[in-house]
C-alpha cells in the first residue's frame, strides 16, 4: 500500500505541502500543467530552493497576478472543481478538504455550511494549495495518508480578513478536534486552517511502530526562519510492508453497578447508532464484591464525542476511560451478489490471495422474513451459493 507520512516538524500549511511534494520529485512544470485544468487564471506557481537549519528545502509561492476580492462559498468552489478537466479522484479529494474546512468555519462563526464565506481559503492561492495537494497525492499513487501529532503554535495573534485571531486560529483547533496535536510555546502560526483541513479530511491517523519502505522524501519550507526550529514540513512517501489494512480507533470504557439492566440493550443500540465499530458489556465483580458490568465502546476519533454523550445521557456513569488503539484488518469490501433469492449484500474478505464471501446477517434476516423461511435455512443456502461462486484470486466488484 502506497502511503504518505506528513512529519509536521514545524506544522503544516498548504504551500509547505506543495513544496514538500515538489522536493520529493514532482516536477513543478507538471504540477502547474495540471493546475491549468482549473477554470481559473490570474496565478503563477513558483518554487525555489532554500536552506532551513542547513537542510535543503523547497519554498513554493503562488503569485496572484490579478483577482477581484472574492468571498466564495463552498458551492462556488465545488462548482470550479466540477467544471475542471481534472480526474475524478483529484476532484473528489479536493472537495473533501474544502467541505471539512467549510464545516469547521461554520461552527466557528455560528452559521451554516451553505452561508459560510471562504475569505483567505476562497482566494486563488488557497485554492491552488488544496487542489495542488490533491494532484500531488494522485501523482504519487498515495492510497492512505498518515501524520505525526500535528504541531501548533500556542502564543501570539494573526491578522485575517475576519480580524485579529489567536494562535492557533479557531478554525485550526476546530478542525483538529480529536486528532493528536502537540502544543508548543512558539508564537507563530505553525499549522494553518488549510493544513489542518488536509489532515482532517485525509489522514487515517498517526504512525507509531509501522514498518515503512521509504521511496521518496521532501522538505517543504515555511516562509520565514523560526529560532530553534527547522521551519519545514517533511513528507515521506513509501509503502507499508504488511498485507493488512490499518487504522486508529478509540476505546471508551466505564464500570457500571447501579443501573437497571433492562436499559442495556437500548444503550448498545444507541451507541451503535453513533457509528461505533462495536459496543458490548462484560460482567465484572467490582470493589466490595459488588456485581457490575464493564461497558466498552470501540469507535473513531471523529465519532468519539457522540458516543461519550450517549453514555453520560443514558447511563449512571460519571467518568470514562479513553485510550487510542491500533487496528489491523484484512482487506474487505461490500459487494452485491445475485442469488436464488435475488440481490444480496455480502462482505468480500481477502485472505492470503483468496476472496471469501459471506452474506450480511441483516440481509439473511430480511429474506427469511419476506419468504417465511427459517433464518438458519436462508443463511445456509445463501452462503453455499456464494462459496460455489468464489475461487482463489477472484476479483469481486462492488
391 or 345, which is more confident? 345
159 or 240, which is more confident? 240
Contact yes or no for 24/203 (Cβ under 8 A): no
pLDDT of residue 397: 37
CB neighbours of 105 closer than 8 A, spacing ≥ 6? Answer: 116, 118, 121, 171, 193
List residues bridging with 368 in a β-sheet.
none
65 or 155, which is more confident? 65
Range of weakest confidence among 65-74, 80-89, 320-329, 332-341: 65-74
pLDDT of residue 93: 95
Render pLDDT for 215-225 as a digit per residue (tens, 0 to 9): 999 999 998 88
Strands 342-351, 354-359: pairing is antiparallel
Strands 321-329, 245-256: pairing is antiparallel
Residue 395 — very low, low, confident or very high, per pLDDT cuts 50/70/90? very low
Top-confidence range, 59-68, 147-156, 362-371: 362-371
- Report, as an integer, the average pLDDT of 378-382: 93
Q: Is 356 exposed, middle or buried (0-12, 13-18, 19+ CB in 10 A)?
A: middle
Rounded Cα distance, 212 and 3, in Å: 9
Which runs of E-coded beta strand occur in 53-196? 55-64, 144-147, 150-152, 157-160, 163-166, 181-183
pLDDT of residue 266: 96
Buried b (16+ CB within 10 A) or exposed e, 58-80: bbbebeeeeeeeeebbbeebbeb
Residue 197 — very low, low, confident or very high, per pLDDT cuts 50/70/90? very high
Buried b (16+ CB within 10 A) or exposed e, 234-256: bbbbbebeeeebbebbbbbebbb
The helix, strand and coil proportions of the chain, stated in percent and rounded to the nearest 5, come to 35, 35, 30
Rounded Cα distance, 95 and 81, in Å: 8
State percent of the chain over pLDDT 90: 60
pLDDT of residue 396: 39
CB neighbours of 70 closer than 8 A, spacing ≥ 6? Answer: 122, 123
Contact yes or no for 15/220 (Cβ under 8 A): yes
Work out the angle at residue 289's Cα, subtended by the Cα atoms of residues 283 and 293, and round it to the nearest 5 degrees: 20
Rounded Cα distance, 125 and 263, in Å: 54
- Report, as an integer, the average pLDDT of 269-290: 95
pLDDT at 241 over 80: no
State the cell numbers at 313. Answer: 445521557
DSSP 327-341: EEE--EEEEEEEETT
pLDDT of residue 398: 37
Kindly report the average pLDDT of the chain as a whole number.
Answer: 88
Q: Where are the domains of the chain?
A: 2-243, 248-329, 332-388
Residue 283 — very low, low, confident or very high, per pLDDT cuts 50/70/90? very high
pLDDT of residue 119: 57
DSSP state of 41: -
- Report, as an integer, the average pLDDT of 19-32: 97
pLDDT of residue 391: 47
Rounded Cα distance, 175 and 197, in Å: 6
State the cell numbers at 361. Answer: 446477517
pLDDT at 321 over 50: yes
CATH of 248-329, one of 3.40.50.300, 3.40.190.10, 3.40.50.720, 3.30.70.1380: 3.30.70.1380
Residue with cell 483547533: 173
Q: How many residues does the chain have?
A: 398
Neighbours of 103 (CB within 10 A): 18
- Report, as an integer, the average pLDDT of 354-374: 91
Residue 350 — very low, low, confident or very high, per pLDDT cuts 50/70/90? confident
Strands 181-183, 150-152: pairing is parallel
Rounded Cα distance, 346 and 165, in Å: 50
pLDDT at 312 over 50: yes
Residue 193 — very low, low, confident or very high, per pLDDT cuts 50/70/90? very high
Amino acid at each position: 500500500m502506497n502511503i504518505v507520512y506528513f512529519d509536521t516538524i514545524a506544522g503544516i500549511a498548504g504551500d509547505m505541502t506543495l513544496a514538500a511534494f515538489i522536493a520529493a520529485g514532482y516536477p513543478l512544470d507538471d504540477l502547474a500543467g495540471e493546475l491549468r485544468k482549473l477554470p481559473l487564471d490570474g496565478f503563477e506557481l513558483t518554487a525555489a530552493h532554500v536552506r532551513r537549519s542547513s537542510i535543503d528545502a523547497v519554498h513554493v509561492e503562488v503569485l496572484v497576478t490579478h483577482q477581484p476580492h472574492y468571498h466564495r462559498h463552498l458551492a462556488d468552489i465545488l462548482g470550479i472543481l466540477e467544471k475542471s478537466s481534472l480526474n475524478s479522484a483529484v476532484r473528489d479529494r479536493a472537495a473533501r478538504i474544502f467541505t471539512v474546512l467549510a464545516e469547521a468555519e461554520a461552527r466557528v462563526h455560528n452559521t451554516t455550511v451553505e452561508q459560510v464565506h471562504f475569505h483567505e481559503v476562497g482566494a486563488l492561492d488557497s485554492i491552488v494549495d488544496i487542489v495542488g495537494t490533491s494532484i500531488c497525492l494522485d501523482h504519487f499513487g498515495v492510497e492512505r495518508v498518515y501524520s505525526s501529532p500535528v504541531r501548533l503554535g500556542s502564543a501570539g495573534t494573526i491578522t485575517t480578513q475576519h480580524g485579529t485571531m489567536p494562535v492557533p486560529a479557531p478554525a485550526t483547533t476546530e478542525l483538529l478536534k480529536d486528532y493528536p496535536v502537540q502544543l508548543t510555546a512558539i508564537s507563530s502560526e505553525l499549522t494553518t486552517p488549510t493544513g489542518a483541513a488536509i489532515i482532517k479530511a485525509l489522514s487515517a491517523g498517526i504512525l507509531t511502530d509501522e514498518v515503512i519502505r521509504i521511496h521518496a522524501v521532501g522538505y517543504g519550507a515555511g516562509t520565514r526562519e523560526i529560532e530553534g526550529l527547522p521551519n519545514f514540513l517533511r513528507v515521506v512517501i513509501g509503502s507499508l510492508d504488511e498485507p493488512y489494512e490499518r487504522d486508529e480507533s478509540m476505546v471508551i470504557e466505564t464500570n457500571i453497578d447501579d443501573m437497571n439492566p433492562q436499559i442495556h440493550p437500548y444503550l448498545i443500540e444507541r451507541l451503535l447508532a453513533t457509528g461505533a465499530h462495536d459496543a458490548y458489556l462484560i460482567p465484572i465483580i467490582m470493589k466490595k464484591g459488588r456485581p457490575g458490568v464493564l461497558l466498552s465502546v470501540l469507535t473513531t476519533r471523529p465519532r468519539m464525542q457522540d458516543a461519550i454523550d450517549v453514555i453520560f445521557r443514558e447511563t449512571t456513569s460519571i467518568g470514562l476511560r479513553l485510550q487510542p488503539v491500533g487496528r489491523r484488518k484484512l482487506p474487505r469490501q461490500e459487494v452485491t451478489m445475485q442469488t436464488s433469492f435475488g440481490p444480496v449484500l455480502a462482505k468480500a474478505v481477502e485472505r492470503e490471495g483468496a476472496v471469501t464471501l459471506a452474506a450480511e446477517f441483516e440481509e439473511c434476516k430480511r429474506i427469511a422474513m419476506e419468504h417465511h423461511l427459517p433464518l438458519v435455512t436462508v443463511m445456509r443456502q445463501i452462503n453455499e451459493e456464494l462459496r460455489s461462486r468464489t475461487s482463489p484470486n477472484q476479483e469481486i466488484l462492488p
